[in-house]
Amino acid sequence: MTDPAEPDLFRVPDLHEQERMVEAILFASAEPLGATQIEARMPRGSDVPEALAALARRYEGRGVVLMRLGEAWAFRTAPDLGHLMQREVVETRKLSRAAIETLAIIAYHQPVTRAEIEEIRGVALSRGTLDQLLELDWIRLGRRRMSPGRPVTFVVTPAFLDHFGLASARDLPGLADLRAAGLLDNRPLPGLGGGAGDDEAAEDPAVADDQADLFDV
């Protein structure tokens, strides 16, 4: 090697230079290095322990510290700055179709039982869907229905109203509004009094009252 950049190999560099060298070697190494391993890469006659000690002092209190790991040395992030190595990622995701529909049914039909939701959606409700909505604090348990089995009902929460910018559940657009907005076809649908699931509700005067509260303003 006659590289002019390497004259240092043949004279012992001063301690400051040795410190620079140890710093670069440790920085670039893919693993912690022991003093002898460092020595093997340094110019002959270098005092590696001395250079390591000087380097450790220099990094004291810095954002990165020179750590002794057993017999080996490595740079590591200062322990008090560990939180910088964590990134808070807030991922925004759209609610699933099942969750949206379930939420909509609860909002429009509240208080409504699980069986009624399934009846209206025409498919069984997975446990996760209600759990997710409960966890989001968008629905909560209402009073139990006074019917066989005394099933629990679900209603929407103030947090729901808040998220959707509604002053009250009454502000939800009615079916006529949905139809006017083109979201429903013009065919007269089995309205709130007619369709499946509403039958049960109709049998329950309490529900009918609730519905009236919600929609017939």
Binders in 70-109 for a second copy, by CB under 8 A: 75, 77-78, 80-88
Cβ-based nearer residue to other proteins, 44 or 94? 94
Question: Rounded CA gap, 70 and 129, in Å?
Answer: 51
Minimum distance of other proteins from residue 110's CB (angstroms): 12
Q: What is the smallest separation between the CB atom of 171 and other proteins, expressed in angstroms?
A: 9
- Binding a second copy (rule: CB under 8 A), the pick from 11, 57, 62, 68 is 62
Burial of 55-82, coded b for 16+ CB within 10 Å and e otherwise, reads: beeebeeeeebbbeeeebbebeeeeeee
From CA 50, how far away is CA 18, in angstroms rounded? 9
**Do 191 and 210 contact (CB within 8 A), yes or no?**
no
State which of residues 4, 10, 28, 36 lies at the interface with other proteins (CB under 8 A).
28
Looking at the Cβ atoms of 83 and 127, the one nearer to a second copy is: 83
Q: Which of 163, 180, 203, 209 binds other proteins (CB under 8 A)?
A: 163
Site for other proteins in 55-84 (CB under 8 A): 67, 74-79, 82
Scanning 136-191, the segments in alpha helix (DSSP H) are 158-163, 175-180
| Minimum CB–partner distance for residue 88 and a second copy (Å) | 5
Give the whole-angstrom CA distance, residue 167 versus residue 199: 29
Q: Which of 12, 115, 202, 206 binds other proteins (CB under 8 A)?
A: 115
End-to-end Cα separation, the chain, in angstroms: 93
Instruction: Return the SS3 of 211.
Output: helix
Segment near other proteins (CB under 8 A), from 6-14, 50-58, 100-108, 209-217? 100-108
For other proteins, which residue of 14, 44, 88, 216 counts as binding (CB under 8 A)? 88
